[in-house]
């Protein structure tokens, strides 16, 4: 992940930087997301959990750091305010809802259809891989015609959060465990980071204290009921942490904007 200053045409002309200020690309083995610095600062001021973490990394994990980037890190306290509660808690709640959003019957059929299409080499995104169909199928999808298989695949791909955001391997794990264990791990991590941030103003990106627990959840070693119980306890703990937090209610938007204007007006 990175922030950058767009070129002159993107800043002042008709050309937009990427898609609404974001560009995704591969460079070597790095899967990179780049944010227009204007969008980055807006997201930081909004308390966005995904982007705040970049300001609390260890020095050795910054692959490239410009002087203005270092200055932004030095002023990361601008973005430590009580308003992050809504962003973190809201994101955690979305993970909780996604965790059990898959219908097992639909998921089993989706995997069966996908496996059969890839076996035939007819899947639209086929890259040569083969996946095993789920066990105990209620019907033989090998007997279906190609048009029917493709039509059913298309219907599932339109289901958005229910199926579309999961890779095939992850769908198989969801079917095996009965819930999305990756969402569960994110849920617990987000709530703990929220509480810590509200109490200290420091974002604990590196989970040294609960790394084993989070990995156990992600690997499906926790029953769903246990995950939901812990999430309920953390949601209940986050509310008083928000009420008693020593952080300011809102970030200093004017200071962050003044810094941004200075960066954009200085020749790079």
**Domains contained in the chain, number:** 3
> What average pLDDT score do residues 188-192 get?
97
What pLDDT score does 166 carry?
59
Packing angle of the helix pair 181-200, 224-244 (nearest 10 deg): 20
pLDDT greater than 80 at residue 103: no
The two most distant CA atoms of the chain are separated, in Å, by 66
Predicted pLDDT of residue 168:
63
Q: What is the pLDDT of residues 49-83, one digit of tens each?
A: 999 999 999 999 999 999 999 999 999 999 999 99
pLDDT of residue 189: 97
Last-in-domain residue among 136, 159, 177: 177
Residues 63 and 90 in one domain: no
Using N-to-C axis directions, what is the helix angle for 253-265 and 67-74, rounded to 10°? 170
pLDDT of 140: 80
Q: What is the predicted pLDDT for the residue at 156?
A: 78
CA-CA distance, 242 to 84, in Å (whole number)?
Answer: 9
**CA gyration radius for the chain?**
22
Q: Are 187 and 173 contained in the same domain?
A: no
Burial 110-132, CB ≥16 within 10 A → b, else e: bbbbbbbbbbeeebeeeeeeebe
Any bridge partners for residue 32, and if so which? Answer: 25
pLDDT at residue 2 greater than cutoff 80: yes
117-176 pLDDT, tens digit per residue, is 888 888 887 666 677 777 666 678 888 999 999 988 888 777 653 454 556 677 777 877
Residue ranges of the alpha helices (H) in 100-223? 104-119, 146-157, 168-177, 181-200, 211-218
Mean pLDDT of the chain: 89
Mean pLDDT of 182-190: 94
On whether both 44 and 141 belong to a single domain, the answer is no
Which pLDDT score, from 0 to 100, does residue 177 have?
Answer: 85
Number of residues written out for the chain: 268
172, two tokens: 């198989």
Q: Predicted confidence band at 32 (pLDDT cuts at 50, 70, 90)?
A: very high
> Do residues 108 and 51 both lie within one domain?
no
Joined together, the tokens standing for residue 264 give 């954009």
Looking at the structure, tell me whether residues 11 and 75 fall in a common domain: yes
Average pLDDT over residues 239-245: 96
Instruction: Indicate the residue among 151, 177, 203 that finishes a domain.
Output: 177
Interatomic CA distance for residues 50 and 73, integer angstroms: 16
Rounded (5°) CA angle 62-64-69 = 85
**pTM to 2 decimals?**
0.79
* Percent of the chain topping pLDDT 90: 63
Q: How confident is the model at residue 238 (pLDDT cuts 50, 70, 90)?
A: very high
Q: Provide the angle, in degrees to the nearest 10, between the axes of the packed helices 211-218 and 181-200.
A: 150
In which domain, by residue range, is 172 found?
Answer: 104-177
Q: Are residues 235 and 131 in the same domain?
A: no
Domain end call among 121, 155, 177: 177
For position 191, what pLDDT does the model report? Answer: 97
Do 157 and 64 fall within a single domain?
no
């Amino acid at each position: 992940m990175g922030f950058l200053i767009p070129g002159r045409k993107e800043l002042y002309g008709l050309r937009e930087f990427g898609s609404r200020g974001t560009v995704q690309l591969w460079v070597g083995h790095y899967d990179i997301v780049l944010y227009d610095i204007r969008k980055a600062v807006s997201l930081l001021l909004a308390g966005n959990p995904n982007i705040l973490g970049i300001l609390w990394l260890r020095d050795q994990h910054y692959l490239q750091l410009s002087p203005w980037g270092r200055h932004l890190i030095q002023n990361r306290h601008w973005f430590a305010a009580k308003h992050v509660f809504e962003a973190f808690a809201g994101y955690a709640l979305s993970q909780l809802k996604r965790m059990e959003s898959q219908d097992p019957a639909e998921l089993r059929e989706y995997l069966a259809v996908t496996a059969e299409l890839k076996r035939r080499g007819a899947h639209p995104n086929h890259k040569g891989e083969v996946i095993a169909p789920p066990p105990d199928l209620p019907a033989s999808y090998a007997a279906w015609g190609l048009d029917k298989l493709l039509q059913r695949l298309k219907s599932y791909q339109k289901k958005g959060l229910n199926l579309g955001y999961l890779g095939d391997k992850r769908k198989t794990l969801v079917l095996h465990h009965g819930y999305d264990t990756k969402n569960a791990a994110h849920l617990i991590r987000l709530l703990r980071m929220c509480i810590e941030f509200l109490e200290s103003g420091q974002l604990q990106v590196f989970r040294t204290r609960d790394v084993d627990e989070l990995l156990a959840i992600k690997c499906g070693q926790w029953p769903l009921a246990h995950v939901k119980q812990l999430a309920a306890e953390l949601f209940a703990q986050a509310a008083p942490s928000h009420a008693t937090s020593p952080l300011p209610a809102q970030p200093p938007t004017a200071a962050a904007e003044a810094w941004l204007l200075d960066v954009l007006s200085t020749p790079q």
